[in-house]
Structure 1
Amino acid sequence: MRFLVYNIRYATGHNNGYHLPFPYSGFFRSTRRKLDEIIDFIGSYAPDVIGLIEVDSGSYRSGRSCQAEAIAQALGYSHLVETKYGDKSLTRRVPVLNKQSNALLTRQDVVKHRYHYFDEGIKRLVIEAEFDSVVFFIVHLSLKFRHRQNQLQRLHQLVKSTNKPVVIGGDFNTFWGSNELELFLAATGLCSANPDGLPSHPSHAPHRQIDFILHSSELEVSKFAIPDVQLSDHSPLICDLDFTESFCSIA
């Protein structure tokens, strides 16, 4: 099972004039050309499940169309997409920001799905998608350390409430280092698909490990990579996951 996690920054690009003629001006530009490049990149790896962070679900930047839907249609996936902000968030009332979402795309059958929202932080969405033998969570954690720790506590509760192996992917914003996740990993028993701590941000000169794929012990990683591609300020994470022989014999 190949899993790809990618913060695509709403397909607004990175560097090469992103901050011209004024800082972050690229955030407001049309995304069509860059989205086509992202579609070609994702298609070249043919993942079974895709976790997309920072997806435009219908602002003027994307021509009022949903980027997750466009990627799904181009590559033959089904998709789940939802705004990152809670129902009571003022951000839902702000144009452009109210179309900022996360998504999960897959070619496999989803048994059921739920959208959870953390109680703290601006970025609050957790996408839960249950498959026959595994449950996926897609997350984008807060920029504030205290909020992240409280969000991880809630994510721990979600993981413990499942009765299947778990995979979590997303942008954890661990600006204080990967040790922010030590208690969470110990409490859940999850493992990182990137044990060497390879960085993924910023994509032009990676030196931060803030994007993660975490998985239950019933799964093992046969291949992990962070491709050198600069279509966003984040590099994508790709891993091949297989069930362990001991789990297969029990199942």
Structure 2
Amino acid sequence: MLKRLLPLILLFFYVALFAQKPQPFLPAAGIKVMTYNIHHGNPPSKDSLIDLEAIARVIRAQSPDIVALQEVDQFTRRSGNVDQAKAIAEQLGMHYFYAKAMDYDAGAYGQAILSRFPIRSTAVRQLPSAPEFRGEPRILGEAFIQLPNGSTLRFGTVHLDAQKSEANRLLQAKALQRILAEQKTPMIIAGDFNAIRSSEAMKVLDAAFTHSCTTCAFTIPVLKPNKTIDYILLDKRKTWSVVSHETIQETYASDHFPVVTVLQ
């Protein structure tokens, strides 16, 4: 009897052992994440010229899996009535999501997410501003992305307030912290935070996120860079292994350097 049951007993222990083994969140090869403020495709040295091919070349050279874009036009007069997120995504063969922040110049202005992996759902989340504020509305563009191993990644692109006063950025940072806590799905938020690392807004975000860099290189302006305001932030509720982090010293396509990290 025992000999007959032995294969079943071994099978039971094997299944139990396998079931207890945690499955990796990221694919074995890891993922490469990029953030890039593209200045609506206008090289700062070229007045009103729109050069989306240059933006696509910069992104292609890094071969990222997921990209957060800021300052993206959609059907504006200044950009030749082009859906910039769609045009860039098509050049790169990537999925995309456009997150409108505001009406602008007969079209829209906002952010975008590009992904090599399928985008399962998206949302545009309004970020708060002080009641007396008269500037641009700010948003979080959010996408749930299905990774090759079946895991789901929550990914966001942001462009926080650029005013000299830090009041709005602080409100927006606290809102991002609350949005993170709404779901358990691990999240990465990347973008132009318009805030240096020691600012109060970034201190708020530091409570909930880990940076992909320790000593973060300057990201703006491209000719004489003097401050870091573009970041990739990693949900602290998950353990991330940062294989590499790089600020790409590309000086033509935009007024910001793109930032790239590999997570494994």
What is the TM-score with the length of structure 2 in the denominator? 0.78
Contact 2:173–2:204 (Cα < 8 Å) also in 1:
no
Residue 152 of structure 2: SS of its match in structure 1? coil
- The residue that corresponds to 2:225 in the other structure is 206
- The residue that corresponds to 1:52 in the other structure is 69
Contact 1:178–1:209 (Cα < 8 Å) also in 2:
no
Contact 2:72–2:112 (Cα < 8 Å) also in 1:
yes
- The residue that corresponds to 2:168 in the other structure is 147
The yes-or-no answer on 1:99 pairing with 2:108 is yes
- Using the alignment, how far apart are the partners of 2:230 and 2:217 within structure 1? 10
- The residue that corresponds to 2:39 in the other structure is 9
TM-aligned CA deviation for residue 8 of structure 1: 0.6
Is the alpha carbon distance of 1:133 and 1:218 closer, same or farther for their aligned partners in structure 2, counting shifts above 3 Å? Answer: farther
1:168 to 189, 193, 199: 189
Structure 2: 5+ residue runs without aligned partners? 1-30, 130-134, 146-150
Q: Based on CA coordinates, which of the two structures has the bigger radius of gyration?
A: 2
In terms of mean alpha carbon deviation, does 216-225 or 229-238 score higher?
A: 216-225
What are the within-5 Å matches in structure 2 for residues 27-42 of structure 1?
A: 29-31=48-50, 34-42=51-59
- Using the alignment, how far apart are the partners of 1:110 and 1:176 within structure 2? 30
The yes-or-no answer on 1:80 pairing with 2:97 is yes
Residue 71 of structure 2: SS of its match in structure 1? strand
Contact 2:73–2:110 (Cα < 8 Å) also in 1:
yes
- Using the alignment, how far apart are the partners of 1:224 and 1:35 within structure 2? 25
The one-letter code of the counterpart of 2:262 is D
TM-aligned CA deviation for residue 212 of structure 1: 0.7
Q: Deviations over 1:187-240 (max 9, x none)?
A: x1x100121021101111211111110002422210110111011111000011
The one-letter code of the counterpart of 1:170 is G
TM-aligned CA deviation for residue 13 of structure 1: 1.1
Is the alpha carbon distance of 1:227 and 1:214 closer, same or farther for their aligned partners in structure 2, counting shifts above 3 Å? Answer: same
- Using the alignment, how far apart are the partners of 1:193 and 1:179 within structure 2? 19
Q: Tell me the percent identity.
A: 26
- The residue that corresponds to 2:141 in the other structure is 127
Contact 2:101–2:138 (Cα < 8 Å) also in 1:
yes
TM-aligned CA deviation for residue 125 of structure 1: 1.4
Q: Deviations over 1:17-70 (max 9, x none)?
A: x5xxxxxxx2xx241xx2111111211111110111001111123221111101
The yes-or-no answer on 1:234 pairing with 2:264 is no
The yes-or-no answer on 1:67 pairing with 2:84 is yes
Contact 1:49–1:107 (Cα < 8 Å) also in 2:
yes
Flag the structure with higher helix content: 1
Structure 1: 5+ residue runs without aligned partners? 19-25, 86-91, 243-251
- Using the alignment, how far apart are the partners of 1:113 and 1:156 within structure 2? 18
Residue 126 of structure 1: SS of its match in structure 2? strand
Contact 2:220–2:226 (Cα < 8 Å) also in 1:
yes
Residue 177 of structure 2: SS of its match in structure 1? helix
The one-letter code of the counterpart of 1:200 is T
Flag the structure with higher strand content: 2
TM-aligned CA deviation for residue 177 of structure 1: 4.2
Is the alpha carbon distance of 1:168 and 1:211 closer, same or farther for their aligned partners in structure 2, counting shifts above 3 Å? Answer: same
What is the TM-score with the length of structure 1 in the denominator? 0.82
TM-aligned CA deviation for residue 165 of structure 1: 1.4
Contact 1:165–1:219 (Cα < 8 Å) also in 2:
no
Residue 90 of structure 2: SS of its match in structure 1? helix
2:240 to 219, 227, 231: 219
TM-aligned CA deviation for residue 175 of structure 1: 5.2
